[in-house]
């Protein structure tokens, strides 16, 4: 057991009603371990309402100005993506508790929370290191979080015609996509927007990125895997003279004179897994991957 108290920072979904039994179990378990618990200010109101008169000496934060030992994300995959954006640069291990729907990233069910906390204090857990994308622009300032765990997508706006995307990999012209957009995904994001557009499933620890067109004009255009050491330079041409850049689902309109450069981020997103939980198990459980539906 650690000699100094561990600090846990909790982020949660304010759009879901909190589970009373689960929260009692979580905070009771952390309290018994002597942990220092910080709760995101926006989520604390929901926690206090759910816990009622029980007092676990919780400390709120708005902007996390300390580096905790662990971060807990309570919600679905969207909550974990938001949590990762808050702590990515510190590389703090994230425990994803799934109280949402699919729960592909946040794959720990609330019923396993005591087991997970015990494994942390016993040192019997593993950490998956997930690569991320860094986004830079030439022209307009991005003015939004510039790292993505899942993907960066360049998309046409509203009812506009398809866009042309001149794509360069390490300064060499690869292709000019004629499509509704282009997705640059990490292995982690391969099962997200990339997969819904026909991209491949990639082992999350592989050292690659994937380029997948959205509704390409030509049937000969297929998803492409490139090394994550590569730099992707994108120049968009649009009849409406603008386009959307979406970073893990958060989007912003840019003028088509603005170029986008995507490369591997200098940080990894570290996700805590139980030792007996493997990626391929998650694929089978969450997506029925490889299962024969005739049985």
- Known binding site: residues? 77-78, 82, 150-151, 180, 191-196, 215, 250
Round to the nearest angstrom and report the end-to-end CA distance of the chain: 46
Tell me the three state secondary structure of residue 215: coil
Tell me the three state secondary structure of residue 82: helix
Pairing of strands 7-12, 70-75: parallel
Q: In sequence order, which residues have a C-beta less than 8 Å from that of residue 71 and are 6 or more positions away?
A: 8, 9, 10, 11, 83, 86, 87, 92, 93, 94, 95
Q: Looking at 21, 77, 166, 203, which residue is catalytic?
A: 77
Cβ(35)–Cβ(122) under 8 Å?
A: no
Catalytic annotation present for 21: no
Q: Is the dihedral of CA 204, 85, 170, 191 positive or negative?
A: positive
Rounded CA-CA distance 150/159 in Å is 25
Q: Which residues are annotated as a binding site for NAD(+)?
A: 77-78, 82, 150-151, 180, 191-196, 215, 250
Q: Is the dihedral of CA 122, 86, 56, 23 positive or negative?
A: negative
Helix axis angle, 20-32 to 41-51, nearest 10°:
100
Two structure tokens written together for 158: 């509203």
15, burial (CB in 10 Å: exposed 0-12, middle 13-18, buried 19+)? exposed
Q: In Å, what is the CA distance from 24 to each residue of 5, 6, 7, 17, 120?
A: 20, 19, 18, 14, 19
Two structure tokens written together for 103: 């729960």
* Residues tagged active-site: 77
């Amino acid at each position: 057991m650690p000699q100094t108290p561990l600090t846990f920072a909790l982020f949660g979904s304010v759009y879901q009603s909190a589970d009373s039994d689960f929260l009692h179990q979580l905070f009771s378990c952390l309290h018994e371990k002597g942990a220092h618990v910080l709760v995101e200010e926006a989520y604390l109101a929901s926690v206090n309402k759910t816990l009622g008169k029980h007092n676990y000496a919780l400390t709120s934060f708005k902007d996390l100005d300390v580096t905790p030992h662990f971060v807990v994300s309570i919600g679905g995959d969207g909550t974990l993506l938001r949590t990762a954006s808050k702590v990515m640069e510190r590389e703090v291990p994230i425990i994803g508790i799934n109280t949402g729907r699919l729960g592909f990233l946040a794959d720990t069910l609330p019923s396993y929370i005591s087991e997970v906390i015990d494994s942390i204090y016993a040192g019997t857990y593993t950490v998956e290191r997930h690569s991320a994308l860094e986004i830079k622009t030439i022209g307009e300032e991005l003015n939004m979080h510039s790292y993505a765990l899942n993907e960066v997508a360049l998309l046409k706006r509203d009812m506009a015609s398809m866009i042309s995307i001149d794509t360069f990999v390490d300064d060499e012209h690869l292709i000019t996509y004629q499509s509704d957009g282009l997705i640059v995904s990490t292995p982690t994001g391969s099962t997200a927007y990339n997969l819904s557009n026909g991209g491949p499933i990639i082992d999350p620890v592989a050292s690659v990125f994937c380029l997948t067109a959205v509704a390409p004009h030509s049937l000969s255009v297929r998803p492409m895997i490139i090394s994550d050491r590569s730099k992707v330079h994108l120049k968009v041409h649009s009849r409406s003279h603008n386009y959307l850049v979406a970073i893990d689902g958060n989007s912003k309109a840019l003028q088509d004179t603005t170029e986008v450069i995507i490369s591997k981020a200098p940080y990894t997103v570290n996700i805590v897994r139980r030792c007996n939980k493997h990626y391929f198990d998650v694929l089978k459980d969450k997506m029925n991957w490889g299962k024969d539906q005739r049985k």
